Amino acid sequence: MNENPSTYDLIIIGAGPIGLACGIEAKKAGLTYLIIDKGCLVNSIYHYPLGMTFFSTSERLEIGGVPFISHGPKPNRFEALEYYRRVSMSWELNVKLYEAVNASFIKDGFHHVTTTKGKYAARSLVLALGFYDLPYLLNVPGEDLPKVKHYYDEPHPYFNQKIVVIGAANSAVDVALETWRKGAEVTMVIRESGIRDSVKYWVKPDIENRIKEGSIKAFFNSEVLRIGETSVDIKTPEGEKTLVNDFVLAMTGYQPPFDFMASLGIQFHNDEFHTPVYNEETMETNVKNLYLAGVVCGGLKTNKWFIENSRVHAEMVVADLKNKIGIK
C-alpha cells in the first residue's frame, strides 16, 4: 500500500458506473485511490435522453452491494442518477469532478496524470472512459448550425417542427418515435436499406409500421449532403431532394477517445472494431499498470460491454493490483 499522501495506489479516469465500481473495489482493498471525471458524476448517464428507461432491471446495475430500488419494472435516468449519487455518498468515494484528464506519462514507475486543474501520480491507472463524448460527425456543410444536435434530450422543443432524424439504430429509432408521438413532423434519412436488426425487438415493428403507414417518412439508401438554416439537401436513389427543415437530430453514434488512449501508449488490434489490447483476465493493457474497465474495452463495438456485464472489470483490476502488491 502507498504511504505517500501526494501519490495514489490507483487513479481511475471516469466517474461512470464502472469507474465508481473500481473506486469501491480499491477502497475495499485498502488502496489509496482517486476517481477523476471531466464532467459531473455519471456524466454519460446525465447526458442520456431525459425520459430514457434502462433495458436492464435495477439489480443488474447495482455496484458496491448498494441496493437499487426502482419504482417501475426497469429504472429510468432519474432513478439511476439518484442511485449512483447514493452509492458515491455511502462509500464516501474520493471523486474529483469537472476535471478533464489531458495527458499521462510514466516516470520512475509512476503514472503522472495532468488534468485541467492539477497534477497527480499513481502506481496504477484505470481508464473507465466510456464512449459517449465523441459523436460521429456527418462532415457536411451546415453541421455547425445550432439547429443540428448530436445529443437528444426531450421531445418538447420539437413540437410542430419539421425534423430530420439521421440514423437507423436504437437511438435514432427512439428519437423518431418519441418526437413524432409528441407532435413533430419526422423524416428519417438512413444510409442503409432498412432499420437495423439490432433495434430492440419490441420497438422495430413499431417504427417499421409507422414508416409503412406514412406517419414517419423515411429515405433509405440516402444521405445528407448539406444543411441550411431552413432546409436539408439529401441524396437518394431517385436523385437529390431538398427537405424543408427546422431541426436535424444526428443520431449517428459515438466513439471512444482513441487518440487519448494511443497517447498513453495503448495499442489496438488490427480488427474492424479497433479493439484496444488488454489482458482479458487482468484488464491490464500492453502498458504496465495501465488498465481498462467498462464500455471502453470494446473499441468501436460500443454495445459489447455495458454496465451489467462490465461491473466485474472492477474486481478483476483490483484483484490484479492486490496480487502485484501482495495483499491477500
Ligand X SMILES: Cc1cc2nc3c(=O)[nH]c(=O)nc-3n(C[C@H](O)[C@H](O)[C@H](O)COP(=O)(O)OP(=O)(O)OC[C@H]3O[C@@H](n4cnc5c(N)ncnc54)[C@H](O)[C@@H]3O)c2cc1C
Q: For residues 43 and 124, which CB has a smaller minimum distance to ligand X in the complex?
A: 43
Q: How far is the CB of 108 from ligand X (least distance, A)?
A: 23
Q: Enumerate residues 303-322 that contact ligand X by CB under 6 A.
A: 306-308
14 counts as binding ligand X under rule CB under 6 A: yes
- Decide: is 37 part of the binding site for ligand X (CB under 6 A): yes
Does residue 64 bind ligand X (CB under 6 A)? no
Q: Which residue, 22 or 164, is less far from ligand X as judged by CB?
A: 22
Four-residue CA torsion sign, 45, 51, 52, 53: positive
Which residue type, as a one-letter code, is found at position 291? Y
Question: 262-293 b/e with 16+ CB inside 10 Å = b?
Answer: eebebeeeeeeebbbebeeeebbbebebbbbb
Residues 202 to 261 in contact with ligand X, rule: CB under 6 A: 257, 260
Name which of 15 and 195 has its Cβ closer to ligand X: 15
Out of 31, 35, 36, 121, which residue is the one contacting ligand X (CB under 6 A)?
36
Quick note: the x/- pattern for ligand X over 38-57, rule CB under 6 A, is: xx--xxxx--x---x-xxx-
Residue given cell 438512413 in the structure block: 190
CB 248 within 8 A of CB 257: no
**The one segment of 127-135, 145-153, 215-223, 242-250 that binds ligand X by CB under 6 A:** 127-135
Q: At a CB cut-off of 8 Å and minimum separation 6, what does 43 contact?
A: 15, 16, 37, 132
Residue 255 CA: distances (Å) to CA of 108, 116, 209, 302: 33, 22, 30, 8
Looking at the Cβ atoms of 48 and 158, the one nearer to ligand X is 48
According to the binding rule CB under 6 A, does residue 15 interact with ligand X? yes
Nearest to 146 by CA among 226, 228, 252, 235: 228
Q: Is 18 in the site for ligand X (CB under 6 A)?
A: yes
Tell me: does residue 19 bind ligand X (CB under 6 A). Answer: yes
Please, which residue, 190 or 297, has the CB nearer to ligand X? 297
Of 313, 322, 324, 323, the closest CA to residue 22 belongs to 313
Binding positions for ligand X, rule: CB under 6 A: 13-19, 36-39, 42-45, 48, 52, 54-56, 100-101, 128-130, 132-133, 257, 260, 294-295, 306-308
